[in-house]
Amino acid sequence: MSSEATVRLGLADELPLLEKRQSLKSRLRARWYKTDRLGRAIFSLVILTLCAAVVSRVLIEVFSPFDGWPAVTIPSEDDEDNDTARSDEERRQAVKAAMKHAWGGYRKYAFGKDELQPVSNKSNDKWGGWGVSLIDALDTLHIMEMHEEFKEGVTHVANIDFSKARANYTTPFFEMVIRSLGGLLSAYEMSLDPRLLKKAQQVGDVLMPAFNTSTGIPYPRVDINSGKAVPADRVCIAEAGTVQLEYWKLSELTGNSVYHDTAQRVVDVLDKARKPHKGLYPIWVDIDSGKLVSGQITFGGRGDSWYEYMIKQYIYSRHSKDQYRRMYEESVDGMKAMMIGQSIYDSELYYVGDLDSTATKFSPRFEHLTCFVPGMLALGSKALGRPDDLELAKKLSYTCFQMYNRTDTGLSPEYVQFRVDEDTGISPLQEEIDFTTVKLKAPTDKEKKDGYYLGSNRGYILRPETLESLMVMYRVTGDKIYKEWGWQIFRAIEKWTKTPSAYSAYRDVTSTKGSKELTDSMESFFLAETLKYLYLLFSPVDYYSLDEYVFNTEAHPFKILSRSHS
């Protein structure tokens, strides 16, 4: 615009042109002075509020940072990580992260092999080369919604020839029924992928020669490559009597009753066998006669799952098979009458000991394996209306948790020893009980504080039994203490057993030497059971509900028998 035009403009028209030539600072100052007092006050208040918010946010980030909205944690002196404030969903995700870590290591270093060795990152085929860790973990992957990993695993399984095993290897019948057959059946029910049922039937078939005995009591091992069982004189009762759920499920899904009928024959023979006390079974069974011949009576190793399957088969049958109810009640009543002990130093510690084969001598040893009993009792209490059993389950759950809580690492040993009295105890052997009364050294202060002492085997091999019971106890009682106990155990597993590739068994739970105690072993049940039970502990109770599923002894969930089959 020319200068002449500017001269002709009035003063009111000239002011906007002059303002355009002013600096931003001058223009803001002009606008400020044109604003009335109320407007200035409101503007100042807004600015001050924004400044205060920014400063507060900076201080929070420095002294109590957010890991992600909306989870805000306020550390305290007693619990700096504020773990008790974590939601169940956060804990589920932490367990899932552990599964992803372990599976990632297995996938990278041992995919298709039986086990990953999580310290050396080597692999082994200790179970004959079927890829047992992979099969055992399939339903855990599905439950944790790791669907891509599940699909990859199924594709691999579909190409396994289960009619073959590693050369010169004889397959343990019981272990492959609960891990491989059970894992394939469960994964099939979840996914309805027909390839899995086909492979499950193949596994069931190649193991069936074990039943080719005069009594139907199975041989403990099968030579898969020759198609014949390996002859033996005896078998432990857990191995003979913990295959029935799996073969029953196989019959249901295939429509072939031979599987169930063959396995059921074992139960019928053992039910009729003479026992030293009603409902209590010595662990060794003579295969040719079907008699209970020797060995301790125990709810621990070699006896445990025989009792577990009594109540689980009753539940699986929709309460239609009264034989299992009767056998279960007889066994639990016998256990309560003859096998329950109490620490002489800590009256809150109850345990299940062992008896000799005549049911006359008692051993005050409590195995980690026996810590499935609280969960079993809770299931039985719920199914059969036995409230006293639930009270015992609560007491035993407490002891099982304290076996973790009272060690320096927070991990549990294989077993603990109690005293009969101040001066005497029972001499344990590595696998069985001597039942010889021995004079013990004076108790240490630690023993008096703990309520028990440790034996020679102080290792933790990533066992699941206590966590299984905690999951069941929470679902039956609704008491959140079982979640807190489970979370504490999980934290100890994370702290002491985690390796760069997975998780390893720990040699001595009293040692805080960390990696020096790792044994380079990760059993498949860590993926199948330990992590699964932890995940379900923090899941909604209707997720794989105990009203709809029965878990086999390897934590593979089976849908309860359909009404048309019960």
Task: Let me know if 414 is a catalytic residue.
Answer: yes
**Contact criterion met (CB below 8 Å) for 143 and 535:** yes
**Contact criterion met (CB below 8 Å) for 269 and 292:** no
d(CA 386, CA 189) in angstroms, rounded, equals 31
d(CA 435, CA 427) in angstroms, rounded, equals 6
d(CA 247, CA 263) in angstroms, rounded, equals 7
Q: Which two tokens stand for residue 167?
A: 């050369």
Longest Cα separation, the chain: 128
**Contact criterion met (CB below 8 Å) for 470 and 397:** yes
- With a CB cutoff of 8 Å and minimum separation 6, the contacts of 218 are 173, 210, 211, 229, 235, 239, 240, 243, 266, 287
d(CA 390, CA 377) in angstroms, rounded, equals 6
- Beta strand 549-551 with 433-439 is unpaired
**Contact criterion met (CB below 8 Å) for 313 and 326:** no
Q: Is 553 annotated for ligand binding?
A: yes
Task: Let me know if 304 is a catalytic residue.
Answer: yes
Handedness of CA 530, 532, 535, 540 (dihedral sign): negative
Region of residue 460 (left: phi > 0; alpha: psi -120 to 50; beta: else): beta
| CB neighbours of residue 36 within 10 Å | 7
As to burial, measured by CB atoms within 10 angstroms (0-12 exposed, 13-18 middle, 19+ buried), residue 559 is middle
Which SS3 state, helix, strand or coil, does residue 418 take?
coil
Which SS3 state, helix, strand or coil, does residue 109 take?
helix
Say which DSSP state 260 is in: H
Catalytically annotated residue among 136, 465, 468, 508: 465
Which SS3 state, helix, strand or coil, does residue 549 take?
strand
Q: Which two tokens stand for residue 65?
A: 């940072």
Task: Let me know if 465 is a catalytic residue.
Answer: yes
**Contact criterion met (CB below 8 Å) for 269 and 290:** yes
Catalytically annotated residue among 115, 239, 246, 304: 304
d(CA 450, CA 454) in angstroms, rounded, equals 10
Task: Let me know if 330 is a catalytic residue.
Answer: no
Catalytically annotated residue among 139, 175, 189, 523: 175
Catalytically annotated residue among 115, 252, 414, 517: 414
Beta bridge partners of 354: 363
| CB neighbours of residue 157 within 10 Å | 24
Q: Which H helix or E strand runs over 176?
A: helix 173-176
Between the two ends of the chain, the Cα-to-Cα distance in Å is 99
d(CA 463, CA 493) in angstroms, rounded, equals 10
What are the binding residues? 553
Binding site, annotated residues for Ca(2+): 553
Active-site residue set: 175, 304, 414, 465
